[in-house]
C-alpha cells in the first residue's frame, strides 16, 4: 500500500496501521498494531503482534521481532534489532489508580544497538550505539556505546564490535581510550574511558 506521504510499504491484512508515517519498503506483519502519531522509518521489519504506541518513534532499517510493544516515550534509532518478546516500559511509578498520559520517562535506543529476546528495558535510560543487551537481561541504567550487558540486574561484561562479536584483542591502551581489534571482522574500535 501507499500512504499519504507517497511511501509504499507492506502491511499484512490483519495488521492495524493508523499512522501515516511509515517509510518506504517497511514490512508490517500479522496482527501488528501501529497507532496514530507514531513514526516508522524506511526498510523496517515489524513482526507479528508488535504494538507501536502513539508517539513512539522507530528509525530506518530497524528489526522488531514478534510480540514486542514499543510504548510512547520510546525512540529507536536506525539499524536497531529488538528481539522477540523484549519489553519496554514508560512509567517509573506505575499505579493502576494514578495514571497520567503525559508523564512518561523517555527511553532512547541508539543506532545499531541490539536488544536480546525477552530483555526488559526499564524506562528513562539511553542504550548507546552498537551496545548489545543479552537475552533476558533487565536494564535500568544508561548503557555505554559498544557495551555488552548481561543478567538481572544488567551488568557490563565487556565490549562488542559493530558486527556483534565480543572485543578481546587490545591494540592500544592509555588513560583516555582503549583501542580494540575485532577478531571476527577485523574492524578497529576505540572505546573512550570514563572521566
Residues at the contact surface with Zn ion, assessed by CB under 5 A: 161, 163, 182, 184-185, 187
Instruction: Quote the least distance from Cβ 159 to Zn ion, whole Å.
Output: 11
* Cα–Cα distance measured from residue 16 to residue 45, given in angstroms and rounded to the nearest whole number: 15
**Taking the mean position of all CA atoms in its chain, how far away is CA 34?**
16
* Cα–Cα distance measured from residue 117 to residue 36, given in angstroms and rounded to the nearest whole number: 27
Instruction: Quote the least distance from Cβ 146 to Zn ion, whole Å.
Output: 11
Q: Per DSSP, what are the bridge partners of residue 166?
A: 160
DSSP SS3 for 10:
strand
* Cα–Cα distance measured from residue 160 to residue 129, given in angstroms and rounded to the nearest whole number: 11
Instruction: Quote the least distance from Cβ 181 to Zn ion, whole Å.
Output: 9
Which of 34, 161 has the CB closer to Zn ion?
161
Cell of 71: 510504548
For the chain, give me the number of helices (H) and strands (E)?
A: 0, 25
Which of 142, 188 has the CB closer to Zn ion?
188
Distances (CA, A) of 56 to 39, 46, 118, 153: 6, 13, 20, 26
Instruction: Quote the least distance from Cβ 172 to Zn ion, whole Å.
Output: 17
Q: Is the CB of residue 74 less than 8 Å from the CB of residue 62?
A: no
Which of 1, 163 has the CB closer to Zn ion?
163
Which of 53, 129 has the CB closer to Zn ion?
129
Which of 1, 187 has the CB closer to Zn ion?
187
Which of 9, 180 has the CB closer to Zn ion?
180
Instruction: Quote the least distance from Cβ 187 to Zn ion, whole Å.
Output: 5
Cell of 33: 498494531
Instruction: Quote the least distance from Cβ 46 to Zn ion, whole Å.
Output: 27
Amino acid at each position: 500500500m501507499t500512504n499519504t506521504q507517497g511511501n509504499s510499504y507492506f502491511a499484512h491484512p490483519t495488521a492495524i496501521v493508523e499512522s501515516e508515517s511509515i517509510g518506504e519498503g517497511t514490512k508490517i506483519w500479522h496482527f501488528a498494531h501501529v497507532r496514530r502519531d507514531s513514526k516508522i522509518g524506511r526498510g523496517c521489519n515489524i513482526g507479528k503482534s508488535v504494538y507501536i504506541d502513539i508517539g513512539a518513534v522507530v528509525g530506518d532499517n530497524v528489526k522488531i521481532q514478534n510480540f514486542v510493544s514499543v510504548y510512547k516515550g520510546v525512540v529507536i534509532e536506525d539499524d536497531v534489532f529488538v528481539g522477540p518478546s523484549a519489553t519496554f516500559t514508560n512509567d517509573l511509578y506505575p499505579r493502576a489508580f494514578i495514571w497520567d498520559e503525559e508523564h512518561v520517562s523517555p527511553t532512547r535506543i541508539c543506532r545499531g544497538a541490539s536488544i536480546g529476546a525477552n530483555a526488559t528495558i526499564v524506562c528513562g535510560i539511553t542504550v548507546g550505539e552498537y551496545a548489545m543487551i543479552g537475552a533476558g537481561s533487565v536494564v535500568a541504567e544508561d548503557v555505554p556505546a559498544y557495551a555488552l550487558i548481561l543478567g538481572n540486574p544488567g551488568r557490563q561484561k565487556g565490549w562488542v564490535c559493530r558486527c556483534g562479536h565480543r572485543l578481546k584483542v587490545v591494540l592500544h591502551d592509555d588513560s583516555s581510550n582503549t583501542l580494540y581489534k575485532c577478531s571476527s571482522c577485523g574492524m578497529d574500535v576505540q572505546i573512550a574511558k570514563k572521566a
